[in-house]
Chain A
């Protein structure tokens, strides 16, 4: 029996080898044929034949095991493929569910994406900081340095293993676990440490409580305007200050484009997904995009680089596709909520790509901006929606409350958040102002300063007004709850967290609470940031000593040397760590798989974990495939943006 099995295996192994050889040779012959048709010499043809034949096993493997399944999964993502059920083509339905947060799956995906972004935006910087600190410590020649290097790197080998993760779980036990005991011991040493410890708990719980409320979809009322308004005020204030170097101007210019692009594509995808789109329009948009790129290539506009041209064409094409929505109407409130901010952002981006302009163009644009503002105010005029948009705007700017019906829970929960204008308006305005001011740069310093100060003041006023009204919105929920004798569930975790400053015997709850589960996971990833440390260490070793010596002679202190020499010199390593860390964070899986509990699953699960569960546990292959493609696009986009952004701060040469 055993020998039969061995013979069987041997046969298949040999047949596999034969297949690989035959397909590789066939690939080589095909490449040679193409080379011959292209009129290459006999020697070139031979080289090409052997090149492709020898690379054949990898190429064939790639087609069979990577490209084939990837294309199959792309196809499945447009179907309702579910094991055991008949498969049907459903078009963009799966994507619509996820991107527009329809039903349980959409809600779960939204939460999982928010968790993933939490890991990426909070976890990765902390991981990089830990790696950098370790590398700086190890960059000194002290006795036993090799031992310390090994110790700091060892978690990379160990982390991810179930045994180590279970050990972490043990160490993170809330009552008597190693981590909490150590923190309490340190806090007990000195009263300031105690305040810091309690402040840490307070801050973490308040932040994570608020994040949990957002993930849960609790309405934030007027507070939704505070973030974009603050962003606008902050950026314009930064742009208004001092003289500009060319590098700073470019940085602001590019950052605005990246943020603008992100918002534009998010809005465009919403527009496309909201309702079924006639495929003919999509084809038209695709043709327009290709035509646009070809036209730009032919035109070879001296000021327009190919990437800008391609983005411009894509923006126009997406705009056409969005406009092609079947029941598009300007009077439709829902359309206005996203379509006008979309147009605003697109105009600003297109302007940015076509610029820089002359002073005359700027004057024309100012006129256009004034006309647009009047148009917007007309669109916002009272009577269109309950309360009136202009009225809403003016009341925020004068710090008056816009809440008319604070006695109606249903109104506060469902009606008010929809009837007030979209916060996207303000993101659109902020980005447009940002691009405009950054575009002005030092060519028009006076105009830049006036515009920036004015804009910053306006945004700041609005931020303050919306914040005050947001507070009133929160208080209304509490008042209603007290009147009815029922608990107030509006941002309940956040309110519990800020209700009182923690006492000295409070401990972080790590894996026992959704307020702490994500920080716990980040703590574990920080522990295993040895790979980043190694890369930083290699980069630190390559920083020329002469630069430090010269800076010392010039009187630079340690901090100045670190900021002005070390950081720029290790920026390629930093960039690499950020890109790799971001991708890894968005794909977090094993740690969640092992550490999750029923009560922390929702707060922990990443998009990668959810797509695994949906595909392999619940067997909804179609939806799982759609999730995976959305994740691919997000990772790809973020990576491309990081590369684009990197030109402003990564220095590859001394």
Chain B
């Protein structure tokens, strides 16, 4: 038995050594591998990268070999944080809209590389804001998802509102309650809860406020924040006069097509396809504004960054310019449905799709990126906790503002955003 074990061990040790090497040392010296990570890619999109994009890039850059990696959203934070903080990972990393503030200086400053790139002027200003941290460009905007308010013009009473006051009037006119339950709601958000943290931030902006004062501390104690909170509370009380009011009955398909909802904030993947006839009766508009603010549309931009651990960022930047070219932006829209962030790639979309044409025009006029959200992973649960107490009558507006301000300042300080 011992002899058998010994022989087995020898054989096992010898076998891997005898295996032919995958790449010869000389070849390895010459070949530079460029790894690109993009979250949530489908097999078709992966194939497009492998069969169309990479061969073209490799042909223009001899000795370079590209590899595409993908993963799910469930472990996105852990995966990316692991790479960026340990300094080992792909050369190009995909990030969501609010991540520039999260990783900041852990990403390369790409100003020197994009300064003389003539295409840069084509990118939507909101997209450039998204990838900018501390005044420096940290990546390339890859795709965008504008979220306007959609209105069912065939069902609604009154005009599309553009102020908080008009919006509340609109909601009163278009909400139908019966027997302690909703029969029709004038508004619905993506969470179906009449509250969402991203939407709350949007209303702070439309009320003329910001999340931070100039010294970097939180501005949750400001007047515009109070106005936004009061607006969200009043809106909730119109559609749920008491917290025991039952919500809408179940519906199939999208909320917009159900006829139970008159208006709502949704991403484009949560509304009927733009070829659907329902779009003859749907209008899009920016979010209503407070007394001292102006309407806007929140835009979510996903982008590609080059982490600071990449020793030779030049090649990664070359790839960013390549994938961000007009032709590739159009191709990615066709293959993966990525809406381009550069405006010269919109011509064909605008020519063939009037819904998108309208949305893109609105985005140019009203778009504000969901960006520069500091310590966003901790801010979200804090907003959930405090706004839940406020919206369900468990805490006053003043106490909620004070708690948000105090605790977000602590978070900002611990995360190193404050001196």
Inter-chain residue pair count (beta carbon < 8 A): 144
**Nearest A residue to B178, CB-CB:** A505
Interface assignment of A535: CB less than 8 Å from any CB of chain B? no
Scoring B residues 181 to 200 as 1 if CB is less than 8 Å from chain A, else 0, what string do you get? 11000000001110111000
B residues in contact with A14, CB < 8 Å: 12, 15-16
Interface assignment of B62: CB less than 8 Å from any CB of chain A? no
Interface assignment of A406: CB less than 8 Å from any CB of chain B? no
Compute how far the CA of A85 lies from the CA of B391 in the bound complex, rounded to whole angstroms. Answer: 35
B220-228, B245-253, B275-283 - interface stretch: B245-253
- The contact of A599 among B78, B195, B242, by CB within 8 Å, is B195
Scoring A residues 503 to 547 as 1 if CB is less than 8 Å from chain B, else 0, what string do you get? 101110100111100000000000000000000000000000000
- Could you list 14 A-B pairs, sorted by A, with CB under 8 Å? A4-B22, A4-B23, A5-B22, A10-B19, A21-B8, A84-B81, A104-B410, A175-B248, A175-B249, A180-B246, A492-B394, A507-B180, A598-B193, A617-B377
How many A residues touch B, CB cutoff 8 Å?
55
Quick one: which of A587-621 are within 8 Å of B by CB? 597-599, 601-602, 613, 616-619
**Nearest B residue to A10, CB-CB:** B19
B residues in contact with A515, CB < 8 Å: 243
Interface assignment of B111: CB less than 8 Å from any CB of chain A? no
**Nearest B residue to A490, CB-CB:** B394
Quick one: which of A213-241 are within 8 Å of B by CB? 216
- How far is the CB of A87 from the nearest CB of chain B, in Å? 11
Q: Is the CB of A506 within 8 A of B384?
A: no
Compute how far the CA of A586 lies from the CA of B331 in the bound complex, rounded to whole angstroms. Answer: 50
Interface assignment of A335: CB less than 8 Å from any CB of chain B? no
- How far is the CB of B242 from the nearest CB of chain A, in Å? 8
Interface assignment of B396: CB less than 8 Å from any CB of chain A? yes
Q: Given A10-B19, A493-B394, are A104 and B248 also a contact pair (CB < 8 Å)?
A: no
B residues in contact with A513, CB < 8 Å: 243-244, 392
**Nearest B residue to A50, CB-CB:** B1
Interface assignment of B327: CB less than 8 Å from any CB of chain A? no
B residues in contact with A487, CB < 8 Å: 393, 396
Compute how far the CA of A85 lies from the CA of B86 in the bound complex, rounded to whole angstroms. Answer: 11
- The contact of B19 among A11, A216, A486, A493, by CB within 8 Å, is A11
Q: A175-B181, A487-B393 are in contact. List 12 more A-B contacts (CB 8 A).
A: A22-B9, A176-B249, A180-B246, A492-B394, A493-B243, A509-B244, A512-B247, A598-B193, A598-B387, A599-B195, A599-B388, A601-B384
**Nearest B residue to A216, CB-CB:** B394
- The contact of B391 among A493, A599, A619, by CB within 8 Å, is A599
Interface assignment of A496: CB less than 8 Å from any CB of chain B? yes
B residues in contact with A5, CB < 8 Å: 22
Q: Is the CB of A506 within 8 A of B377?
A: no
Interface assignment of A140: CB less than 8 Å from any CB of chain B? no
B residues in contact with A22, CB < 8 Å: 9
Interface assignment of A108: CB less than 8 Å from any CB of chain B? yes
**Nearest B residue to A508, CB-CB:** B246
Compute how far the CA of A492 lies from the CA of B390 in the bound complex, rounded to whole angstroms. Answer: 11
Interface assignment of B112: CB less than 8 Å from any CB of chain A? no
Interface assignment of A15: CB less than 8 Å from any CB of chain B? yes
Quick one: which of A472-509 are within 8 Å of B by CB? 486-487, 489, 492-493, 496, 502-503, 505-507, 509
Q: Given A11-B16, A487-B393, are A83 and B82 also a contact pair (CB < 8 Å)?
A: yes
A residues in contact with B20, CB < 8 Å: 7
Interface assignment of B389: CB less than 8 Å from any CB of chain A? yes
Compute how far the CA of A215 lies from the CA of B113 in the bound complex, rounded to whole angstroms. Answer: 53
Interface assignment of A642: CB less than 8 Å from any CB of chain B? no
Interface assignment of B122: CB less than 8 Å from any CB of chain A? no
Compute how far the CA of A22 lies from the CA of B407 in the bound complex, rounded to whole angstroms. Answer: 53
Compute how far the CA of A79 lies from the CA of B9 in the bound complex, rounded to whole angstroms. Answer: 42
- The contact of A104 among B81, B377, B382, by CB within 8 Å, is B382
A residues in contact with B77, CB < 8 Å: 616-617, 619
